[in-house]
Amino acid sequence: MTTKAENISETEHILLKENERLDELQRNGYRIIQNPEKFCFGMDAVLLSGFAKAKKGSSVLDLGTGTGIIPILMEAKTEAAHLTGLEIQEESADMARRSVALNGLAQKIDIVQGDIKEAGRIFGGASFDVVTCNPPYMIGQHGLTNPDAPKAIARHEILCTLEDVVSQAAKVLKPGGNFYMVHRPFRLSEIMVMLVKYKLEPKRMRLVYPFVDKEPNIVLIEANRGGKSRMTVEKPLIVYKEQGVYTEEIYEMYGY
């Protein structure tokens, strides 16, 4: 049985530009176009796509989609009717569109080039059942060398802040809709305050630990627009059972 991606294998070489490569996603035969010199998706995106939920027939928006990894993975893992990725960087949005086409998903996934800060204006209020985001984590100038580089924009709050992400997610979510975000635990108190400020009630949280005896370095959060105050803290997610060897749950998330 051939997959959508395999059906387009004869033309895939035309889709690749200088320094780009095709990476396997281990889901439905899907692949993604990336440029290692610009930015490649990491484990955070995979963890978020596994943590986020989308009911059958729902509409999903991914804020700051990069090369489209989260919409593509969520299309494979959920029964969402339609997914949209919003990305400000032209090169990333272009790669995302070509990956969508490569996988035969043009009817289910739209890639829109635009600013997260304008999401409410671009899509209108209460437009989506689910919003996801893997936002820039770093604030200030820590570790920043070239503020115009794609990697810097993806990692640092240069073009948008945490408040921009949360406020725009609240605008485009339908009442009762869910917001899913991956972030860093050191900003957890700020995240909670910001979510409540924009009436996105934290409902579910999971901390991710690199090893069982290390402190967490990733947090996954689900919030509900207009929800009541009650949050579930899920069991810890451990990434490695030993150096270089993932736990079974991580292998399952990656589709191995």
pLDDT tens track for 129-138? 999 999 976 5
- In this predicted structure, what is the pLDDT of residue 37? 86
The overall pTM is greater than 0.85: yes
Distance of CA 23 to the CA centre of its chain: 17
d(CA 83, CA 98): 15
* Domains of the chain as residue ranges with CATH: 4-254 (3.40.50.150)
- In this predicted structure, what is the pLDDT of residue 39? 81
pLDDT-derived band at 230 (thresholds 50, 70, 90) equals: very high
Q: Which two tokens stand for residue 209?
A: 């630990």
C-alpha distance across the termini of the chain, in Å: 19
Residue 62's closest CA among 43, 80, 38, 37? Answer: 80
What's the mean pLDDT in 101-128?
Answer: 96
Give percent of the chain with pLDDT exceeding 90.
77
What's the mean pLDDT in 149-161?
Answer: 56
- In this predicted structure, what is the pLDDT of residue 175? 97
Distance of CA 162 to the CA centre of its chain: 14
Q: Which two tokens stand for residue 109?
A: 């996934």
Name the more confident of 242 and 3: 242
Mean pLDDT over all residues of the chain?
88
SS3 sequence of the chain: CCCHHHHCHHHHHHHCCCCCEEEECCCCCCEEEEECCCECCCHHHHHHHHHCCCCCCCEEEEECCCCCHHHHHHHHHCCCCEEEEEECCHHHHHHHHHHHHHCCCCCCEEEEECCHHHHHHHHCCCCEEEEEECCCCECCCCCCCCCCCHHHHHHECCCCCHHHHHHHHHHHEEEEEEEEEEECHHHHHHHHHHHHHCCEEEEEEEEEECCCCCCCCEEEEEEEECCCCCCEECCCEECEEECCEECHHHHHHHCC
pLDDT digits (tens, 9 = 90+) for 31-58: 999 998 888 899 999 999 999 999 999 9
- In this predicted structure, what is the pLDDT of residue 136? 76
Q: Is the pLDDT of residue 6 over 80?
A: no
Q: Which two tokens stand for residue 187?
A: 């900003």
Least confident of 38-42, 108-112, 118-122, 154-158: 154-158
d(CA 136, CA 154): 5
pLDDT-derived band at 127 (thresholds 50, 70, 90) equals: very high
d(CA 249, CA 240): 10
Q: Is the pLDDT of residue 213 over 90?
A: yes
**187 φ, ψ to 5°?**
-110, 15
Residue 231's closest CA among 200, 198, 190, 187? Answer: 200
pLDDT-derived band at 236 (thresholds 50, 70, 90) equals: very high
Q: Is the pLDDT of residue 119 over 80?
A: yes
Which residue in the block uniquely carries the two structure tokens 């909670």?
192
